[in-house]
Amino acid sequence: MEPNLPSGDGQKGPPKNSPNIVHFFIVGIVITFILNMVVSTMMTDRKVQIEYGQFIQLVEDGAVKQVRIETDQIALTLKDGANQSRVAQILHGSPENSQVLKSLVYYTGRLDDPGLTQRLIDNEVAFYKPIVQSNPILSFISSWIFPLLIFYGVYYVITRNFSKSLGGIGGMMNVGKSKAKYYDMEKNTGVSFNDVAGQDEAKESLTELVDFLHSPEKYRQIGAKQPKGALLVGPPGTGKTLLAKAVAGEAKVPFFSLSGSEFVEMFVGVGASRVRDLFGEAAKHAPCIIFIDEIDAIGKSRDTHLGGNDEREQTLNQLLAEMDGFDSSKGVLILAATNRPEILDKALLRPGRFDRRIIVENPDLPGREAILAVHAKKVTLGPDVKLREIGLATSGATGADLANMVNEAALRAVRLGRTEVLQEDLMDAVEVVIAGKEKKDRILNPREKRMVAFHETGHALAAAVQADRETDAPPVQKITIIPRTMGALGYTMNRPEEERYLMTRSELLARITTLLAGRAAEEIEFGEISTGAANDIERATKLARSMVTQYGMSGKFGMMALESVQNQYLDGRSVSLVSEATGADVDKEVACILDECHQKALALLRQNRDRLAEIALFLIERETMSGFQFMELLRGRKTA
């Protein structure tokens, strides 16, 4: 269950990034001055002054194309077809310099020469005197203001993008600042323990921490110290973050919340700096609570022989030092949450840092009912709603799943034009979350529809027969052959009558038999098999392997542990502990269990073949069958 964040009244956002104007203008003026000097120097290097006599000689030799007469100088342009050797001889005293003439601009000083105009006319040289309207303001703007504006725009874009890439507060100079969100829980008390259901043991452990923040003196009188930290451990969606916010809401103290990944950046030392800044801010607001979500992002074990991340390890080292260094009597409490406690560094878990480990697991049946009741308060329920039945049908669901189911039920009620949520809306929401929505556009051909009907009837019939004869296997609640969006062409929903925590060997074998009964029904009715049993086979194989490798239910291996479970709060992946030869024997034992259950499923269905055909035909006609209808047909009674 994810918490609803408080409103913006209690959250202090970071200041907007803005370049330092004074520093910019100092640097900009220097750069503009240097640029103007460079341009002026480059222009001066390309201009060559010649003697007035050389100018006259070039005119009379017909080498000049155009002349620009200015106030104190005369600039000339040479003809492209002029004798380059002759021109080089006149200007440089050597014909070998003709290759550099085109890259230079020649000019001479203007003298009092009354015959210049006539000489230019006689030699067919174009000449003019430019009209210059000098404006010192425009000259200043083009030389200084305009370049400064361009530099400022480039500077602003670069600094803003760079500060975003660093993720710092206030730009480049604040990259080491903490990114924790600050909530003033005295003003924002929207989350309390009343909003958390199904986690009574976790709330009990955290209530003492809240009481210490409220009344530290009674603990100090007896010599007790406040635990420095508490680690919330459990699967995703069970309410770890909500519990942390509820602690802050109950204690009404400032609350710093951030994720472990926000400490780590590409620059070495940034994460450690953010840790120091976070604890510095917390000390200023004590008593307060620091909550680090997904702490495994920075708290992984320092296993250097496989290579490591220096930045992450420096951040972890700084966190360890800060947790040792601060005084818990000031009321700074550290909460952290993770789904993978097995990979955390041992130094992080020792007493004195995280003194308590609080397990936040999937809720049991009473817990699911309590969670449903909390979320049901936000919607209008009909008189026929029974939350216990929804709780029974959602074994293994997390708080987040249950909240999603209640919301889906409310959405369905609105779609159907109702003003209240009925039991059928909630049951349909359970199916939507578990199997997906009905695919009304997927139409099975008659043979496929018949095969799916017999397959699902085989599951239901095996479950019901074994429940009557051998074990207390859960009864059938619903059978359908309507395809779902998650890939199922049909499914059979079983509902336990009570919450179960232990399974006997016979019950596990009965469950495997029920899973394989769908394939058995296809073999009995059609004499061949289809791909529809893929998921059944996967689940049955996993269950049979667990019996052999983890539960000690194999006659060959006895109570020998052959596998261990890793990431128990995530995927629960199993890791083999045996050699390849023993692993091959394990595979044979698993195959033997599956074959035994398959043969048992075939025998059960052959004994009840008439009922199998009758129920399957009813399912083909109706497409959906309730548990009540199924039991009536199984007992040989007609049903409407």
CA distance 340 to 233: 8
Tokens of 228: 């420095």
- Helix axes 580-607 and 534-549, enclosed angle (nearest 10): 120
CA distance 266 to 166: 8
Across-strand partners of 357? Answer: 231
Whether residue 410 contacts residue 379, with contact meaning beta carbons closer than 8 Å, is answered with: yes
Could you say which DSSP state residue 344 is in?
B
Question: Peptide bond before 351: cis, by omega within 30 degrees of 0?
Answer: no
Burial class (CB in 10 A: 0-12, 13-18, 19+), 552: middle
CA separation (Å) from 145 to 20, 29, 133, 410, 577?
A: 18, 9, 20, 63, 75
Told to judge if 523 belongs to the known catalytic residues of this protein, a careful annotator would answer no
Q: Following CA atoms 522, 523, 526, 530 in sequence, which dihedral angle do they give, to the nearest 10 degrees? A: 60
Shortest CA distance to 198 belongs to which of 235, 228, 161? 235
Could you say which DSSP state residue 623 is in?
S
- Helix axes 52-60 and 84-92, enclosed angle (nearest 10): 160
Burial class (CB in 10 A: 0-12, 13-18, 19+), 2: middle
Cβ neighbours for 65, distance < 8 A, ≥ 6 positions apart: 77, 78, 79, 80, 125, 126
Catalytic residue chosen out of the listed positions 369, 456, 563, 589: 456
Active site residues: 456
